[in-house]
Structure 1
């Protein structure tokens, strides 16, 4: 605890999710931190040409941040490079911005999710290494919903019956898989797709296609009426 009762956090592992102008020369920085969740902080003077932080406020780079304060907007004092700088290009770069927008929309401020932070960090490394993008996105989308407390049951139907790989199911938001009926709207998919997702196996093209449809529906449900800007860009570039 710093003087005056102002909480100070030193050298915390973070990623920059987004920045936007604040007053004449500063920026508000949305950080995803490993131990404190999403933190908003003011980087004073960061828009000045000679600012020490200006060149470090880059998305997708592991950083170490020091901040203090108790209000909703903290004061960002310094940034240092973390280990293993990453380079995302082309569609991988757009995928990274899509993941950042998802985190900004779904992750409450100051709600720690260390497992999600570690998984996000690993996902960026997969994207930088040109791993297949579609399964990489599906894995993080699913992990994000699960870590944030949204139930995405994959191995059992709503009433508790085990999923059978050869059966067809209807997947409903907030509920899960049910037998297809006349009065329900959801995503129809095979039991094999659900079990493949539970095993983290996206090698079957049908699983990859149906899992995309499922995650798109679930995310639209939890995000509400405001669509993701980066999702549409990805769709325009390639069906991810």
Structure 2
């Protein structure tokens, strides 16, 4: 009996979150894949002028990538670095520009800082893929960003139950205003700070449980502009001493323009 031919490596959907030089001709990529989460991948020869990878290994493009078997395993038995054997843009979303580009890099930095390697999160991957085309929309961008921030925090287990008081676990009064304390959860206002009604918090929690990004984005729109500083405070609390570089760059640009 003739020996069986080895199976070709399987392809998987992925986005490039970040890349940096590895040598004069190669790159190290931080990929966000649907099947395996964040991956460190070496793209050998990708910087050469004739490389077919140069035009596709860009942030925000949905790719189908083929990876080699990892050459090194860490002490937990997980792959550390793999080699990129091929990448193909599948079409659709193109590179954003202007404010959408800053927002895209902001989201990529959130994923880099919050997601561990080799931890598949297909729901978060789908939410990210759905978010990118909305960043260019004047009407949808802010609510879409808030919905993604909530999804990321919930996926990482960092979002408290938004439908109950943190101190007593009692249901919220839909008519009363509440604050979101980063260290605990929803509380009765203790000082002058951004607040949402109990109904807004309840609707956000219901949309998260439903699992629909469209429903969550609608709930974020209903929550209004106060949701942005509430979530930013929560994100910064969990980032600790790891400030977001893209956020600071955007603030510096805004200062220059004004």
The answer to whether TM tops 0.5 is yes
TM-score range relative to shorter protein? 0.7 to 0.9
- Pick which of 36-45 and 146-155 moved more: 146-155
Q: Quick check: 2:150–2:159 contact (8 Å CA) kept in 1?
A: no
What does residue 161 of structure 1 align with? 170
RMSD: 2.4
1:175 aligned to which of 151, 170, 184: 184
| TM-superposed deviation, 1:57 | 0.6
1:228 and 2:236 are equivalent in the alignment: no
Rounded to whole Å, the distance in 2 between the matches of 1:127 and 1:89 is: 9
Distance 1:152 1:187, change over 3 A: farther
Task: Report SS of the residue matched to 1:110.
Answer: coil
The list of structure 1 runs, each at least 4 consecutive aligned residues, that deviate by more than 3 angstroms after superposition, is 128-131, 185-190, 233-238
Rounded to whole Å, the distance in 2 between the matches of 1:190 and 1:129 is: 27
1:96 and 2:96 are equivalent in the alignment: no
What does residue 94 of structure 2 align with? 86
Unmatched 5+ residue regions in structure 2?
1-7, 73-79, 208-215
Alignment TM-score, normalising by the size of structure 2: 0.80
Cα deviation 1:41-77 (Å, max 9, x = unaligned): 0001111111121111111111001112333111111
Rounded to whole Å, the distance in 2 between the matches of 1:145 and 1:202 is: 15
- Pick which of 68-77 and 94-103 moved more: 68-77
Unmatched 5+ residue regions in structure 1?
1-7
Residue-pair matches, total: 228
Rounded to whole Å, the distance in 2 between the matches of 1:213 and 1:96 is: 19
Distance 1:211 1:129, change over 3 A: closer
2:157 aligned to which of 144, 149, 160: 149
- Pick which of 62-71 and 214-223 moved more: 62-71
1:118 and 2:116 are equivalent in the alignment: no
What does residue 60 of structure 1 align with? 60
